A and B are shown apart, each in its own frame.
Chain A
Amino acid sequence: MTTNQSHINSEQAGAQPVIDVLSVSKWFGNVVAVNDVTLQVYPGITGLLGPNGAGKTTILHLIAGLARCSDGSVTVLGEPVRDNPDLYKRVGVMSEHEAVYGFYTGRQFVEFAARMHGLKPLKGPVDRAIEMVALGDAQGRSVGTYSRGMRQRIRLAASLVHNPEVLILDEPLNGTDPRQRIEFHETMIRIASEGRTILISSHILEEVETLADRILLMVSGKLAAAGDFRAIRAKLDEQAYKVRVVTTSPRAMASALMAMEEVDSVSVGPEEGELIALSRNVNTLQLSIPRLAQEHGIRLLRVEPLDDSLESIFSYVVER
């Protein structure tokens, strides 16, 4: 059974959610950071997506018990999370901030986390956690000398050292390179396959797309959509995206574009030689434009997607 299947089965069977956020709001003075959000997270990998400033970190802080809800309630594993330190024996949290104790070596940093969890003996869990993030060779080096990606990984090791049932990760892939991302994905999938619950936040759609089967979309402090990733993605694919084309021969280019099956419409932009093409298959369109230009002897000055950003995708979801 895949992670996704187990997750969906849990939800369908009406199982108790591992993380249960009920009508939660959080405001700082006059600023509403999270507005009446209700969401549930079940075993498996759930992605918390949203543009910067959407309230992802705030909701994760509320779920982790770092912040107090202005309204509503949060339970993790059936227990209130705030003022309940014992719960952290079963929960691992990796915050967004990269700060670490620079005077520790990587190993000392993970050992410190293990000690704080009361683990004895330390060696086994610490070795396992460091191995999981592939930092065995650098474990004796001072954390202060680590690259950004290495810091993220050692922080992940410290979050995993007590083998938590629930893992909450805020932007864990910041600063990691493609190879580290692949390793991270493999680690997360392995952990989730053991029946654990992982909640990962990101503002990069592709980052979560390959990892999480279920997503929670946040926009402007509200939950915009929640559910199976593929279903939401299919809805998103119905949206027509805008591509900006600047050329020395706008009339000829417009004619060529209108002949394409992928293009819904073409309009003239405010800049000289500018065209705005609407398409539901923006990737094919972008690949086809240079070929079209070559065939028709048109000189292209610029081709760029206008709204292929998470913000526009979320706007689309919210409007629906």
Chain B
Amino acid sequence: MVPVFWLSISQLTGRWRVILITLLAALPVGLAVIVHFAATEDDSFDENFMDILLDGMLVAGIVPLVTMALSTASFGNELEDRTLSFLTLKPIARWQIALPKFLASIAISGPLLIVSGVVAALLGFDGSIKAAAAVGVAVLVGVTAYAAIFTWAGLVTSRPLAFALIYVLLWEGVISTYIDGVNYLSVRGYTLGIMYGINENGFGSLSERVIEFPAAIVGAIVVTMVFSLLGVRRLRRMDVP
């Protein structure tokens, strides 16, 4: 598995992709710096900051977009350039191909997004370690669940980016925001639920719209497991070009 992991890291760290995801991940930090120094006298700062920056920008936008850019490519690019057969013709089980590819996309997007979220939280919540930890853990969970979904998408469709964009915008962005109960089937819902569950006081304004902490953990685990297994199943059954 280790050679496939490092191969995937090399494949996913093309210059333009790294620049793009780094810029995206830097956005919340940049915004937090601006707001931190410009609006510290405003009492409602914390609440607005959390809503706009952490939920609206980081959790609903940056986390899925960065993960999408990496995870859809981990198999999508190999299918497009037809190098996947080079891996599947080796004496290793298909899960030993799928798992390191899944982990490689998390290994790149996870640290970037966690650092982004933690720094933004530290700036926005006056150095609160608990808030930063809550954001860091929640982002890691979100990245992991999204990575499982998008890695699977890279295997089942020839247009994984289009699929992922529609999913993120419609399901995670619109439907999970406006339809009650969809939060239980939404990675965004799990991410916010875990963030709130770890630091209820810091993220009090979320109390009306988050799912229960245990439900968020179970949901994230189920989504990650189900889509990982679906990915391995697809890799075993598909005709490799």
Contact flag A103-B237 (CB < 8 Å), given A88-B90, A88-B91, A112-B3 = no
A34 to chain B, nearest CB (A): 12
Among B10, B87, B240, B241, contact of A116 (Cβ-Cβ < 8 Å) = B87
| Tally of A interface residues using CB under 8 Å | 28
A67 within 8 A of B: yes
Among B87, B94, B236, B240, contact of A67 (Cβ-Cβ < 8 Å) = B240
Q: Which 10 A-B pairs have the closest CB atoms?
A: A116-B90, A67-B239, A97-B82, A88-B91, A115-B3, A99-B81, A66-B240, A89-B91, A99-B83, A93-B89
B90 touches A117 (CB 8 A): yes
B7 touches A112 (CB 8 A): yes
| Highest count of chain A CB atoms <10 Å: which of B83, B85, B91 | B91
**CB neighbours of A101 from chain B (8 A):** 7, 10-11, 83, 86
B interface bracket (residues with beta carbon within 8 Å of A): 20 to 34
Contact flag A66-B85 (CB < 8 Å), given A88-B91, A116-B90 = yes
**CB neighbours of B4 from chain A (8 A):** 116
> Which A-chain residue is minimally distant from B87 (CB atoms)?
A116
Contact flag A83-B236 (CB < 8 Å), given A103-B10, A116-B87, A116-B90 = yes
* CA gap between A68 and B81 in the complex, in Å: 21
**Hey, what's the 0/1 contact readout for A156-194 against B, CB within 8 Å counting as 1?**
001000000000000000000000000000000000000
A86 within 8 A of B: yes
**CB neighbours of A118 from chain B (8 A):** 91
**CB neighbours of A93 from chain B (8 A):** 85, 89
A98 to chain B, nearest CB (A): 9
B192 to chain A, nearest CB (A): 38
**CB neighbours of B239 from chain A (8 A):** 61, 66-68
**CB neighbours of B85 from chain A (8 A):** 66, 93, 95, 97
B91 touches A99 (CB 8 A): no
**Hey, what's the 0/1 contact readout for A89-107 against B, CB within 8 Å counting as 1?**
1010101010111011000
B88 within 8 A of A: yes
Contact flag A88-B89 (CB < 8 Å), given A61-B239, A101-B10 = yes
